[in-house]
Structure 1
Amino acid sequence: MALWDRFKESASQMQTQLVAKKNDLKSGAFRDASMAMCALVAAADGTVDASERQRVAQLISTNEVLQNFPADDLRRRFEENLDKLTADFAFGKVGILQEIAKAKKKPAEARAVVQIGIVIGGADGDFDKDERAVVREACYALDLPPHEFDL
């Protein structure tokens, strides 16, 4: 099986696992860490163009797991995180990883945040090396082993 086919299958399985845990993923820490993760993946290469911003915002609003939260609130949080990254990527990334790390108190939420990063990263058909790298960094921030997610 081609690498991309394996990745698509893995991302699909992760989305299924997230949906199964949907009722357990309602905390503010999970919401905030998820939006920070989405922004980090969207800006993984250090830039965010308007089409990428729109695509990720659309994915956020249609993701079944994130429907536990008001869509306009999620979009606002996503945009705020993107603004931090576009203003100063290196400095913004430190703050974003700190936000993501707040989810590590609940291991199920921490894993779900990583899974959301993988689902968002692969949604365009290419989970590239920059996206993989920032999700791997988020794993370290959450005290999770990246190999658990094939990173």
Structure 2
Amino acid sequence: MPFWDKLRESTQTMQSQLLSKKNDLKSGAFRDASMAMCALVAAADGNVDPSERHRTASLITSNEVLKNFPADDLQRRFNDYVSKLTADFDFGKVSVLQDIGKAKKKPAEARAVIQIGIIIGGADGNFDDTEKGVVREACFALDLNPSEFEL
């Protein structure tokens, strides 16, 4: 199976898994960790161009699980995390990973945050090594084994 087909199938499976847990994914820690993850993946290369920001924002607002939260609140949080990362990527990444790590108290939320990162990373059909690397780091922040997600 070509890589792109496998990636698309994997993200569809993850989206289905997320939908099945939608009612369990309503905490503030999950909301914040999800937006931090989206920003981290978008800024994985140290830069977020306007088209990438727009594409990620569209994915956030169209994601059924994230509709548990007001879209304008998610957008503001996403933009705040992106600002931290673009101001000083290394320092911002430490702060963002700390916020992602707050979701580790609930294993279902922690896994959902990683799945959202993978969905965001694969949205353009190219889940590159840099994006995989930041999602892998988020796994460690959440006390999850990256191999569980084929990272």
TM superposition score category, shorter chain reference: over 0.9
TM-score, scaled relative to structure 1: 0.99
CA shift, 1:4, in A, is 1.9
Once the two structures are superposed, what CA deviation does each residue of 1:15-59 show, in whole Å capped at 9, x if it has no partner?
A: 000001000000000000000000000000110001101110111
CA distance in 1, matches of 2:33, 2:41: 12
CA distance in 1, matches of 2:126, 2:99: 25
Where does structure 2 lack aligned partners over 5 or more consecutive residues? none
Q: 1:85 is matched with which residue?
A: 85
Q: 2:23 is matched with which residue?
A: 23
CA distance in 1, matches of 2:130, 2:12: 21
Once the two structures are superposed, what CA deviation does each residue of 1:80-115 show, in whole Å capped at 9, x if it has no partner?
A: 000000000000000000000000000000000000
2:58 matched to 1:45?
no
Q: 1:95 is matched with which residue?
A: 95
**What percent of counterpart residues are identical?**
73
In the alignment, residue 84 of structure 2 is paired with which amino acid? Answer: K
CA shift, 1:7, in A, is 1.4
CA shift, 1:73, in A, is 0.0
Q: 1:70 is matched with which residue?
A: 70
SS in 2 for 1:44: coil
Q: 1:112 is matched with which residue?
A: 112
SS in 2 for 1:61: helix
CA shift, 1:3, in A, is 1.8
CA shift, 1:6, in A, is 1.1
- Work out the number of aligned pairs and report it: 151
SS in 2 for 1:126: coil
SS in 2 for 1:127: coil
CA shift, 1:78, in A, is 0.1
CA shift, 1:2, in A, is 1.2
CA distance in 2, matches of 1:6, 1:124: 14
Once the two structures are superposed, what CA deviation does each residue of 1:91-144 show, in whole Å capped at 9, x if it has no partner?
A: 000000000000000000000000000001101111011110000000000000
SS in 1 for 2:6: helix
Q: 2:123 is matched with which residue?
A: 123
